[in-house]
Structure 1
Amino acid sequence: MHALRALAAEVNPEHVEVARPGDRAVSWGWGPKKMSEAYAYALPYKSHVNLGFYRGADLPDPRGRLKGTGKAMRHLSIQHADEISDAAVRDLLVAARDERRRALGLAD
């Protein structure tokens, strides 16, 4: 979880982090609103952490890492901290960040 938080801060130093105790998750985005301003979340479990994307169905996923069948949300499971250094994880966070930035009219 700590490594994911560090990566989120590295990818977007301006991010807004919101702990969501009712959801047992923490989300990152351009503001505190979960479904409109946030782009990613981390949800810890006993043996892994899910890194989820609120609009993951629209993200490029050339390595097929994303799981889920919902209309918008997708996630990937992180079993070990060293998986976070995989370029695909970073690429997904960057793509999610950029998608939300454009959708909110924050892009240059």
Structure 2
Amino acid sequence: MKPNPQLLKFIEPYDEHIQNLALELRNFITDLVPEANELIWDNYNAVAMAYSKSEKLKDAFCHIAIYSGHVNFGFNRGAELTKTSIKLNGKGKLIRHLSVKDFQSFPKEEIQSMIWEAVGISENLNSALIDKKSQPKSIVMSISEKKIRPGNKTSG
């Protein structure tokens, strides 16, 4: 699935390295789970994409959040992952993430197995997602009026 033109517009204010890193991480997910929908938020403090076999955030298995100096690669139910040799950050009830500065050092093999476990967790919570083979969609969920972006403190 090609990047949504609106997503490309949302990430324009970010440094080219951050844009490329976000798109590489995005491609990593969409190549691995090609049937996943991409849910996009142009939020106040970050651009975020969640990946779900449905069109609902509650079914998402992982996500990407773009900030000015790094990109977070996260798991929506990361606290429930068992097959992790990677230390994920986060103190909340469920969400865990890894801060990524470059794609070369991104632990692709370990993350790949974690993604498959996360997909399984999502499918266990919603059995309608099992063997779902629909055409993936890239959907803009919301656009914040005011935003903090590189180069300007706030816009909107």
- Normalised TM-score (structure 2): 0.62
Which SS does the other structure have where 2:106 is aligned? helix
Q: 1:5 aligns with which of 22, 26, 42?
A: 26
User: How many residues are aligned here?
Assistant: 107
Q: 1:33 aligns with which of 56, 60, 67?
A: 56
Give the alignment of 1:1-108 within 5 angstroms. Answer: 1-22=22-43, 24-34=47-57, 36-84=58-106, 86-105=108-127, 106-107=129-130
Measure the CA separation in 2 of the matches of 1:78 and 1:51: 7
Structure 1 unaligned segments of length 5 or more: list them: none
After the TM superposition, which segments of 4 or more aligned residues of structure 1 sit over 4 Å from their partners? none
Measure the CA separation in 1 of the matches of 2:121 and 2:92: 18
Contact 2:38–2:49 under 8 Å retained in 1:
yes
The amino acid across from 1:7 in the alignment is: F
Measure the CA separation in 1 of the matches of 2:83 and 2:70: 21
Contact 1:3–1:84 under 8 Å retained in 2:
no
The amino acid across from 1:32 in the alignment is: E
| Cα-Cα RMSD | 1.7
More divergent stretch after superposition (23-32 vs 8-17): 23-32
1:61 Cα deviation from its structure 2 partner: 4.5
Contact 2:86–2:110 under 8 Å retained in 1:
no
Contact 2:65–2:73 under 8 Å retained in 1:
yes
Measure the CA separation in 2 of the matches of 1:61 and 1:45: 27
1:85 Cα deviation from its structure 2 partner: 5.1
Structure 2 unaligned segments of length 5 or more: list them: 1-21, 132-156
Q: Which has the larger radius of gyration?
A: 2
- Please give the per-residue CA displacement for 1:27-73, whole angstroms capped at 9, x wherever unaligned: 10112221x11111100112211011111000125323211111111
**Relative contact order, CA 8 A, sep 6+: which one is greater?**
2
